[in-house]
Amino acid sequence: MARSALSWIVNRGETQLSDPAWEENRRRIVRCLLALFLVLSSGALGFAWTEDWPLWRGLYFTLITVTTVGYSDEGISPQGKQFAVVLLLVGIATTTYCMSTVVQIVVSRQLGWKRRMQRQIDQLNQHVIVCGYGRVGRTVAEQLHQAGVEFVVIERNEQHFQEAVDRGLLALHGNATDDAVLKAAGVTRARAVVCLLDSDAENVFITLSARDFNPKAFIVCRAETESAAGKAHRAGARMVVSPYYAAGVDVATAVIRPNLAQFLEHGRNGQGGFDLTEIAITPRSPLVGKTVAEVGRACDTVVFVALKQPDGQTIIRPPGGLRFDAGDILFLAGSRESLDEFCQMLAPDQNAAQPAAAL
């Protein structure tokens, strides 16, 4: 965990020498080093004076005395033994104080790092919670990061948690099935929860908890079997995905319709000159009341792929006479530049690159 704290501080640029807490810790460390130096130097000089030894021999005997190694008594005189008694008491007390001070500083820095992480998470709103930072979780986190979506990772595996921290991600070390961990991740304020653990039972349990804490959250649940998928839906998941099934479908599509598969893959990776996005139409949107044809003439570089109405009905390639209404979800296709221009035309402060951008 100490390496986690160091990685976070380096990634976030929080090593500020002017920090009062850091200055206080630095002074404490200096005092410890000074105390150790005084003990060692006093011991070396004391034995050199009482036993008529060279300074190096005096320092050597001081070290084996303070550390209680006790290789031998070096044949010291009665005066030397008296001095060694005093040195033992003072040296052990000083060493214990220094060690306890170092431990306190490490613990305080670690707790401070955790508090800073938690403060940043507490400031998030309408973010995404990614439960699990395995192979699928890493891909989800990368996509969210590229899209500029704020998210928090929950990971119980120390190594995977460390990888997330090293990448500069907001992460919590814990089990997502624990209600306290979900609350710490801001589940009540989250807009989506992604359950990607390698256990179907745990994913369903997280879905139940997340739905209870936040009924409006969009929950995506990973499931390996049809039975688990059905339970996840009943638990409140809006979408259930199976990585192995999805991979099989992609492979079959590539074999049966290779050109279409390549086209979709390029679009998915942003390499084919086009992108796909969705826009949630709010009551204040300038789209409300306008027809598809009117909006299409104003921006003819995007394609209206589909329109999902509030009642759940999805209209593929909406006709020109259809009027937009509040609550509709519009699916668009086009180049990233044209999608950005479309959103700027409607609401300059919105970004089409963000999923479900409210216009």
> What domains sit in the chain, N to C, each tagged with a CATH number?
2-121 (1.10.287.70), 125-247 (3.40.50.720), 273-358 (3.30.70.1450)
Whole-angstrom distance, CA of residue 223 vs CA of residue 243 = 8
Return the pLDDT at 1. 43
Q: Let me know: does 116 contact 7? Beta carbons within 8 Å.
A: no
Whole-angstrom distance, CA of residue 2 vs CA of residue 6 = 6
Phi-psi region of 317 (alpha: psi -120 to 50; beta: other; left: phi over 0): left
* DSSP alpha helix (H) spans, 174-284: 179-184, 200-213, 226-235, 243-256, 258-269
Q: Which residues contact 205 (CB under 8 A, 6 or more apart)?
A: 177
Return the pLDDT at 48. 78
User: For the stretch 74-91, what's the b/e string if a residue is b when 16 or more beta carbons lie within 10 angstroms of its beta carbon?
Assistant: bebeeebeebbeebeebb
Work out whether strand 303-308 and strand 275-280 pair parallel, antiparallel, or are unpaired.
unpaired
Which residues of the chain are modeled with pLDDT < 50? Answer: 1-18, 348-359
**H or E stretch at 357:** strand 357-358
Of 91, 93, 113, 103, nearest in space to 29 by CA: 103
Q: Which amino acid is at 219?
A: I
Q: What is the dihedral of CA 231, 232, 236, 241, to 10 degrees?
A: -150
